[in-house]
Amino acid sequence: MSPHPRVGRDHILDTAESLFTEHGYKSASIREIARECGVTNAAIYYHFPNKESLFAEVMQRHAECLQDKMTRAGENIESPRERIIAILQAYIDVIAGQHAPLFMLRRNAKHLKGHGKHRGEFMQAISQPLVNALVFAKEMDEIKSTPSAEEIAAMMLGMLHGLAQQHRAAGVDGRALSDEDIQMAVNLFWEGIGA
């Protein structure tokens, strides 16, 4: 029988996530995470070989949670364009709701070995529901066949981030992107800016 059967991975991951987001990757130690969980360091190392692997799993869980919310937001929406808008609204909802912790986590991702690759995989994971919706839109002949769904997804997400940044710089109160902003941006991209 394992020596630490009652300290679940999920509990460790929850604790690590809040300490990483509060104090940053560098400052949060395994010792502190163990103390917060009420266990010994060994109990943490039983599940994770080192701090880096623990952090990588926190990031992966975060990506899966976001992915899941986006996928569910698009379910049962027949119109490809409406489905895409709903998925993007779910994405922005999560970003807006957990702005600080989320960006803290992502910023800290530079401490991971091969962080370029990690970052790429992370971005790919969180854009997957949008890519799927764009593939569906292509199958329905609602959007152009080129460029690839991956490229369109990246352009759409980039567009929204750019718009959010502009709103923040212009001092827009409250959420940087409302549901109407997202709808406007997607409709504009769909129909074109040309008069």
Positions in the binding site for its own copies (CB under 8 A): 81, 116, 119-121, 123-124, 141-145, 147, 150-163, 165-166, 168-170, 184-185, 188-195
Question: What's the min distance (Å) between Cβ of 145 and its own copies?
Answer: 8
d(CA 58, CA 12): 10
The answer to whether 90 and 160 have CB atoms below 8 angstroms apart is no
CB of 55 to its own copies, least distance (A): 20
Nearer to its own copies, 32 or 121 (CB): 121
| Minimum distance of its own copies from residue 41's CB (angstroms) | 31
Q: How far is CA 103 from the centre of its chain?
A: 10
Nearer to its own copies, 76 or 145 (CB): 145
Shortest reach from residue 155's CB to its own copies, in Å: 4
Report angle CA 76, 96, 154 to the nearest 5 degrees.
65
Give whichever of 17 and 181 is closer to its own copies, judged by the CB atom: 181
Tokens 């502190």 sit on residue:
32
Residue listed under structure tokens 């949008």: 130
**Distances 46 to 9, 113, 119 between C-alpha atoms, Å:** 10, 21, 27
Q: Which is nearer to its own copies, 1 or 170 (CB)?
A: 170
